[in-house]
Chain A
Amino acid sequence: MTEIIRVLIAKPGLDGHDRGAKVVARALRDAGMEVIYTGLRQTPAMVAEAALQEDVDVVGLSILSGAHMALVPRIMEELQQRGLADLPVFLGGIIPRDDVAALQALGVSAVFGPGTESQTIISYIQNAVRGDPA
């Protein structure tokens, strides 16, 4: 029997480049995870539906557009509607310090700024999946 960590890396919103998301996706693959990569311009419903169908253990969102405070609540709501309220969600991108607490209150379990070491994200995911408190 094999249990491999499955991660959804999604890029919601309208900003047009996904270099950062791809770098993270590859790093997670190289750490032995199965990474479902959905590409650009995902609506909140598309992110939640992909998380459901793929039965992922964790969701990573990459948001560079500054629209995180608009997008994240809608994504959390779509996840909740599908019974995925306790799925760990992490966020990567350029997130002002002041927004981090608000995002955590919405249920985001970690926020990673630009230049975060891959190993930090990998360790976070491994802990989140094992169910350790973040």
Chain B
Amino acid sequence: MTRASRRHPDGAALATSALAGDRQATARLLTLVENGHSQGHIALAALYPRAGQAHVIGFTGSTGAGKSTLVSEVARELRSRGERVAIVAVDPTSPYSGGALLGDRLRMHDLVNDPGIFIRSMASRGHPGGMARATRDVITVLDALGVPVILVETVGAGQAQVEVARVAHTVVLVEAPGMGDDVQALKAGLMEIADIVVVNKADRPEARQTLQAIRSARLRGRFTEHERLGNAHPAADSITPGWLVPILETSALQHTGVADLVDAARAHREYLVSTTLWESLRADQAKADVEDWLDQKLRALAHERLGEARLMQQRPWCRTSSPS
């Protein structure tokens, strides 16, 4: 592919090449859909009917919990079971410069020489809902290309944790031992979005305490509301009604507990399929997609038709009084 064809991409041709196994075309296509490029839309339209088969597993949790290392181990385990795997690792965009430092590949070295694994780093780019939209489109492409398992890593801060729940079938919350009973995720109310909770760094002695804290929190019912309330729970689109959240231990460094984690993710997938939640999730995501698109369109339309000044008149109290 020449520089010129990078500048004038052809979405339909790239989709055809990617389907034929051209990895460069796949990579290029991911950029186009991530950028919201019109040729990306054309490719998505062609690919969408083929999507819907992949199991999307989201990994979230606080910085440094070991998500990338664990994702890398999970990928390796899946490979040993004969599955192809894609990894999508999302890091935050700097709100000051709009740039980003994407460092998750640092922990995924060993995977790079395996043609059965495709790793892609993404920046959150900071639009509300935007991360979910772009990530979902990237996932749709990989899914349509026949990748059976897609692992998505996001940092568990603020909006990102809710958005990963919107793009994944199975949400794995990765926690690491900290100080005493102080479990980050419990404080942040993060447990609500998890389908599987993992205490990573189980090789460290403090891990037992963290595990205890999470287990007793569950006994107190702090993150089982959805089991009682089912769909009525406000975050029902991010959790699985009737599913008992397993709490597992792993050591990504010493390669322990990873097979159990993969088994649990598989079990969750089967649960979703058997309860028809799998299909309703896809329908929910399609709806969220349309709503994101509509938000963008209406916003652009309002700006175009009314202009800044008339929009501001709708909110007179927002007008800053001019100095002097």
The distance from the CB of B66 to the nearest CB of chain A, in whole angstroms, is 16
Confirm or deny: A103 has a beta carbon within 8 angstroms of a beta carbon on chain B.
no
Confirm or deny: B321 has a beta carbon within 8 angstroms of a beta carbon on chain A.
no
Q: Which residue of B lies closest to A84 (CB)?
A: B24
Confirm or deny: A31 has a beta carbon within 8 angstroms of a beta carbon on chain B.
yes
Q: Which residue of B lies closest to A25 (CB)?
A: B101
Size of the B side of the interface (Cβ < 8 Å), in residues, is 36
Q: Complex: how many Å from CA A24 to CA B201?
A: 32
Q: Bits for B9-38, please: 1 = Cβ < 8 Å to A, else 0.
A: 000000000000001100110110001111
Across the interface, do B103 and A37 meet the contact criterion of CB distance under 8 Å?
yes
Q: Bits for A33-47, please: 1 = Cβ < 8 Å to B, else 0.
A: 111111101110110
Across the interface, do B94 and A55 meet the contact criterion of CB distance under 8 Å?
no
The distance from the CB of A25 to the nearest CB of chain B, in whole angstroms, is 6
Within 8 A of B (CB), among A70-92: 82-84, 86
Confirm or deny: B298 has a beta carbon within 8 angstroms of a beta carbon on chain A.
no
CB-CB < 8 A to B23: which residues of A? Answer: 52-53, 82
Across the interface, do A39 and B106 meet the contact criterion of CB distance under 8 Å?
yes
Across the interface, do A52 and B27 meet the contact criterion of CB distance under 8 Å?
yes
Across the interface, do A37 and B27 meet the contact criterion of CB distance under 8 Å?
no
Confirm or deny: B119 has a beta carbon within 8 angstroms of a beta carbon on chain A.
yes
Confirm or deny: B150 has a beta carbon within 8 angstroms of a beta carbon on chain A.
no
Q: Which residue of A lies closest to B34 (CB)?
A: A2
**Which listed residue, B36, B99, B112, touches A35 by the CB 8 Å rule?**
B99
Across the interface, do A46 and B3 meet the contact criterion of CB distance under 8 Å?
no
The distance from the CB of B273 to the nearest CB of chain A, in whole angstroms, is 30
CB-CB < 8 A to A39: which residues of B? Answer: 103, 105-106, 109
Contact-size category for A: 35 or more
Q: Which residue of A lies closest to B106 (CB)?
A: A39
Q: Bits for B52-90, please: 1 = Cβ < 8 Å to A, else 0.
A: 000000000000000000000000000000000000000
CB-CB < 8 A to B112: which residues of A? Answer: 45-46, 49-50
The distance from the CB of A87 to the nearest CB of chain B, in whole angstroms, is 9
Confirm or deny: B123 has a beta carbon within 8 angstroms of a beta carbon on chain A.
yes
Report A's interface with B, CB cutoff 8 A.
Answer: 1-4, 6, 25-26, 28-39, 41-43, 45-46, 49-50, 52-55, 82-84, 86, 131
- Provide 19 A-B residue pairs closer than 8 Å at the C-beta atoms, listed in order of the A residue: A1-B36, A30-B94, A30-B97, A32-B97, A34-B121, A35-B101, A37-B102, A37-B105, A38-B105, A43-B113, A46-B113, A49-B112, A49-B113, A50-B112, A52-B23, A53-B119, A53-B120, A82-B24, A84-B24
Report B's interface with A, CB cutoff 8 A.
Answer: 1-4, 7, 23-24, 27-28, 30-31, 35-38, 93-94, 96-103, 105-106, 109, 112-113, 118-121, 123, 125
